[in-house]
Structure formats: C-alpha cells, structure tokens
C-alpha cells in the first residue's frame, strides 16, 4: 500500500475508502492483511483520481457513472486538438500585446 500511495499521491485512508466504494478495485490481501495492488487496480485508481481531480467530479455515484461511460482515448483526440489550438491562439494574442 505504501508504494501505491507514494505512486499516486493518495493517502492510505483514501485507498481503503475507495476499495469499499468501487467493486472493481480489489487488491489481493495476504494472511496479514497487507494489500497487493495489480496493474489493473493501479490504473483504476489513477482513473478515479483523474475524474475527481481533473474533471472535478467528486460524488462517488457520479465518478462511477463516469467510469461506466468511459470513451476510448481516440475519441478524445479531436477535443484535445481543439483545446490546444485555443491555447496556441491565446499565446499568440498575448505575444502580440507584448
């Protein structure tokens, strides 16, 4: 758990809470109760963290809905391109003012 907490920046209490809230998040536990997260578990943690922090979706039910309605990364490319074009234009405008 320490490694995953350090890798994601999530406190152990958040990891334990999310385990209870998201059924797909199920790290293996040994006889001592130590958790061992798979690559799939870590990817899910990072996806939940992205939805919460970047998309500003904080309600657990809304995060679950966002996870269920996940679109392929290829579907996001046109939107990313559009955002980058706007950023570029903004920077060009700022440069013109200088």
15 touches 21 (CB < 8 A): no
For the stretch 28-87, pLDDT in tens is 999 998 999 999 999 999 999 999 998 899 999 999 998 988 744 445 667 778 889 999
C-alpha gyration radius of the chain: 18
pLDDT of 19 above 60: yes
- The reported pLDDT for the residue numbered 76 is 66
CATH code, 2-70: 1.10.1660.10
pTM of the complete model beyond 0.75:
no
Domain ranges of the chain: 2-70
Please give the Cα distance from 34 to 79 (Å, whole number): 41
């Amino acid at each position: 758990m320490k490694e995953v907490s350090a890798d994601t920046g999530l406190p152990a209490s958040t990891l334990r809470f999310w385990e209870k809230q998201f059924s797909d998040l199920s790290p293996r536990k040994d006889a001592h109760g130590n958790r061992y997260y798979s690559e799939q578990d870590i990817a899910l943690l990072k996806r939940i963290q992205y939805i919460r922090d970047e998309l500003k979706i904080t309600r657990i039910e809304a995060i679950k809905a966002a996870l269920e309605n996940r679109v392929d990364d290829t579907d996001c490319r046109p939107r990313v391109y559009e955002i980058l074009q706007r950023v570029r234009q903004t920077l060009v405008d700022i440069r013109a003012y200088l």
